[in-house]
Amino acid sequence: MSAPHRRHMVAVAAAIAPATSFVLQYLFSAKNGTRELFWHHATIAYLDWIFVPFNYLVIDAINWRRGATLTWLWCASVMLNIVAHAQWQISGADPGHMITARAVVLPAGWVHLAFATLETVLLLAFVFCRINGAPHVVPLSVLMAAYFVGVPICSYFIHGRLAPTDLSVAVVGLTAAVGYPLVERSRAHAAAPSP
């Protein structure tokens, strides 16, 4: 199998991940009687669909040969998502399709944890392991920024207020999406030899 064909298959699999997460969370919510709560969780029901095109395109933009950095990003993603889900569990911040009022993580919650971990890795890898001159950087950056702008909007819809975890995710995400590339660009410009 050729390298472009393998990359295409990985890109398709990555693009299918948000749909798989949506379907599994929906089915588990229907089984647990929390389907209405699922639809009320705007981030999962609507905003996460932005990752279908993002995931398909981002596979070609990431330098997969940066193994050590990618390993650290996986570790950071796992830790950040476990902490976020634990905070939701402790505070009762989830509307109920992922975590019950008694703080029991439902199957939909475990699916969301796995999906959120994967997405965090892809987002972080796009920012910190991007190939120089990678294709689709502008549309990927726009999709990433749109997601992080949408997070607080969905948070307000879900909770009737801005949840602190959602606000911090939006601020850190927008900073990573916009700020880090600007810093890198200015650093590269400063390191370039003068004519």
In a domain, 150, yes or no: yes
Could you tell me which residues come within 8 angstroms of residue 15 by beta carbon, excluding any fewer than 6 positions away? 52, 53, 55, 56
In a domain, 35, yes or no: yes
In a domain, 192, yes or no: no
Grade residue 95 by pLDDT with cuts at 50, 70 and 90.
low
The domain in which residue 70 lies consists of 3-186
Q: What is the pLDDT of residue 153?
A: 96
In a domain, 119, yes or no: yes
Grade residue 177 by pLDDT with cuts at 50, 70 and 90.
confident
Q: What is the mean pLDDT of the chain?
A: 92
In a domain, 193, yes or no: no
In sequence order, what are the beta bridge partners of 62? 130
Mean pLDDT of 27-37: 95
| pLDDT higher than 90, residue 178 | no
Integer Cα distance of 126 and 174 in angstroms: 13
The total of structural domains in the chain comes to 1
Q: What is the pLDDT of residue 195?
A: 66
Please say whether the beta carbons of 67 and 73 come within 8 A: no
In a domain, 110, yes or no: yes
Kindly list the distances between the CA atom of residue 119 and the CA atoms of 56, 96, 100, 112, 190, in Å, as whole numbers in the listed order.
Answer: 12, 22, 24, 10, 32
In a domain, 194, yes or no: no
